[in-house]
Amino acid sequence: MDVQAIINILQAGVATGTVLLFATIGELFAERSGVMNLGVEGMMLIGAMSGFSVAIKTGNPWLGVLAAMIAAGLLSQVHAFITITLQGDQVVSGLALTFLGAGISLVLGEGLSKAGTVSLLSSFSVPLLSQIPLLGPIFFTDQSVMVYIGYFFIPLSWYYINRTRPGMHLRAIGEYPAAADALGINIYVLRYFYVFVGGLLAGLAGATISLAISPGWFSELTTSGQGWIAVGLVIFAQWDPLRAAFGAYTFGALRRLILDIQGPTMLLGFANPFYYNPYWGFFLQMLPYAFTIIVLVIGSREATRKRVGAPAALGIPYIRGERGH
């Protein structure tokens, strides 16, 4: 394994991490407003399925992306209705959403895996930027357009949450909804909106898989638990988009490393044990999931130490006039 191989892995890792980036920041918006949505996996599946399906039927991948976002956004509103209007339990409703999304995408995606080829979202290199040593090949060479959208998206979402007026309202309804209500902010409408934003972005993440990063529809294996990893990353990120981006790209690189490490016969000058014992691959496959748990441990410890934590009203339905939050 030489420098070029490592660059290749990181380059592919950035692409893979873009999926997690969209899903994580989407969930981050919903949780900042006080609604935890555990249905990210289901919304991503719906997005991946409908994006791929529409792209095949119309021949236009951008219509696919649009369909993916709308479909997942609509699904998210089921969760919004149950948790915001009906004040149902956010944990159980989010789980139900995962079942629902997985089930619907399996039913409507039947036969889609052999439906034929689809024109994918384009990839290109950025002039000048791709010439930067090390960073250029990793971040700006031959990446999907989705990856570049992701780059813009990180500072934008940070700026929106921390520096704009609507972003301040978003933080207010997640931290102290009663005070926000007294200021005339419509908590119900805003929570619906941010759950919808979470859905749109989960759909975008799904379409990024099925139309760009690993094209196709492979039923539940399409996402293989990335929606859940995204939910875990939000906790690790302490509800901050910049940390979320860091986590997403790191995880992307880890996933790629696991896929690629079994290829070469030599590893750092030694015989590659993963090449000669292919079954050790099963232990490699555990790593992203084990790593998610480790990341949660780090995130929780740091949160306790720094006294930062989840939005105070996370998981609590807002009932006007009720004492407490």
Partner 1 sequence: MSETPSTSKSENRSRPFRLQIEPRLSQPPGWFPAIVSVGAVVIALIIGGVLIAVAGGDPLRSYIHIAKASFGNIGVLSDAIVKATPILLTSLACCIAFRMRLWNIGAEGQFIMGAFGASAVVLIPLLPGDASPWLFIPAMMLAGMVAGAIWGMIPGLLKAHLNVNEIISTLMMNYIAISWINFFVFAVWSEGGFQMTRKFAQNAWLPRLLDYSKEIPLFRGLTTHMGLLIGILAAVILWFIIYRSRWGYEIRLIGDNPRAAQYAGINIKRNIVLVMMVSGALAGLGGMSEVSGVVHRLQTSPLAAGYGFTGIIVAWLAKLNPLVAILVSILFGALILAGREIQPSGVPKMIQGIILVCLIASDFLLRYRIHFVHAEKED
User: Contacting partner 1 (CB under 8 A), which of 129, 156, 179, 297?
Assistant: 297
Q: Is 305 in the site for partner 1 (CB under 8 A)?
A: no
User: Contacting partner 1 (CB under 8 A), which of 142, 156, 301, 312?
Assistant: 301
Q: Is 317 in the site for partner 1 (CB under 8 A)?
A: no
**Closer Cβ to partner 1, 14 or 112, answer by number:** 112
In Å, how far from its chain's centre is CA 313? 22
Q: Please list every residue from 210 through 269 that binds partner 1, using CB under 8 A.
A: 219, 225, 228, 231-232, 235
- Contacts by 275-284 with C-beta closer than 8 Å and gap 24+? 284/258
**Candidates 118-126, 151-159, 200-208, 284-292; binding stretch for partner 1 (CB under 8 A):** 284-292
Binding mask of the shown chain, residues 70 to 109, with x at each position contacting partner 1 by CB under 8 A: --------x--xx---xxxx-xxx-xxxxxxxxxxxxxxx
Q: Is 64 in the site for partner 1 (CB under 8 A)?
A: no
Q: Is 167 in the site for partner 1 (CB under 8 A)?
A: no
Q: Is 286 in the site for partner 1 (CB under 8 A)?
A: yes
Q: Is 316 in the site for partner 1 (CB under 8 A)?
A: no
Q: Is 276 in the site for partner 1 (CB under 8 A)?
A: no
Q: Which residues bind partner 1 (CB under 8 A)?
A: 38, 42, 78, 81-82, 86-89, 91-93, 95-111, 219, 225, 228, 231-232, 235, 279, 282-283, 285-286, 289-290, 292-293, 296-297, 300-301, 304, 319-323
